[in-house]
Copies of this chain bind each other. A is one copy, B any other.
Amino acid sequence: MTSPSDADSERTRLVTLAMRVIERAGENITRAALAKEARMPRARIDAIFDSEDALFDAILEKWYAPDIAIMEEVVASDLPIRRKFYEFFARRFARQRARFRKDPAAFAVYCEVGTDNFENVSGYIDLADHYLAELIAQAQEEGHFAGLGINRALSLINQMVVCYTLPQMLMILVEDKLEEDKLATIIDTLFDGLSGEARGAAPVAGLRIA
């Protein structure tokens, strides 16, 4: 019999192996391919990952675990709210950039696999939104982002910091244009400028451009 902790470590070992194969092959891995790589019977793999989705979810879990730890730590911290916002984005950005710099080709593969399996990834995006909504609620209690519903503020903030959250940006943009001190300026801009009040940018109905 395999003890629970042996099963855990075998699962962890297989996920690590699967990620190495993904990075090498440049595409997602099936349970059949994993069995072959691990030189294990397919039935054993299937007992650990009861579907292709379960294997992919285990890979995602490992990929996102440090990000979740960052978000939980920042939300629970007693930093001032602006500092929380900055750390919430900056730490995950720094981690993402380190991964990208370490192996740009492997990073590109994960972006592609993630895009192809968006259903599986979306739970993690929802979780990040959940934590950000907590921070927004706290900021609103302190008088920021006036006149905006939480979901509206969430969408606007996500759009304004997307360069520092969306992994693809490290590949689309010139990576060295993304800098922590720009992110800090963007966070300060949000805190001092974001509200629900219309202040002149939007067109006034009935007026047309000269």
**Does chain B have a CB within 8 A of A79?**
yes
In the complex the two chains form, is A82's CB within 8 Å of B201's CB?
A: yes
**Does chain B have a CB within 8 A of A124?**
no
Copies of this polypeptide in the complex: 2
**Does chain B have a CB within 8 A of A73?**
yes
**Does chain B have a CB within 8 A of A87?**
yes
Enumerate chain B residues within 8 angstroms of A195, measured Cβ to Cβ.
188-189, 192
Enumerate chain B residues within 8 angstroms of A13, measured Cβ to Cβ.
none
Size class of the contact patch on chain A: 35 or more
In the complex the two chains form, is A74's CB within 8 Å of B162's CB?
A: no
In the complex the two chains form, is A196's CB within 8 Å of B203's CB?
A: no
**Does chain B have a CB within 8 A of A181?**
yes
Enumerate chain B residues within 8 angstroms of A186, measured Cβ to Cβ.
156, 159-160
Enumerate chain B residues within 8 angstroms of A166, measured Cβ to Cβ.
172
A193-B188, A209-B74 known; A200+B160 contact, CB < 8 A? no
| Apart from A185-B196, A191-B199, A193-B193, 13 more pairs, CB < 8 Å | A80-B200, A82-B200, A82-B201, A83-B201, A85-B201, A156-B186, A160-B189, A184-B198, A184-B201, A188-B201, A190-B193, A192-B195, A192-B199
Residues of A in contact with B (beta carbons under 8 Å apart): 73-74, 77-80, 82-83, 85-87, 115, 155-156, 159-160, 162-163, 166, 168-169, 172-173, 177-178, 180-182, 184-203, 209-210
A-B contact pairs, 17 of them (CB 8 A): A77-B209, A83-B203, A86-B203, A87-B209, A156-B186, A159-B182, A160-B186, A162-B163, A166-B172, A168-B172, A180-B202, A188-B197, A188-B202, A189-B194, A190-B193, A192-B192, A193-B193
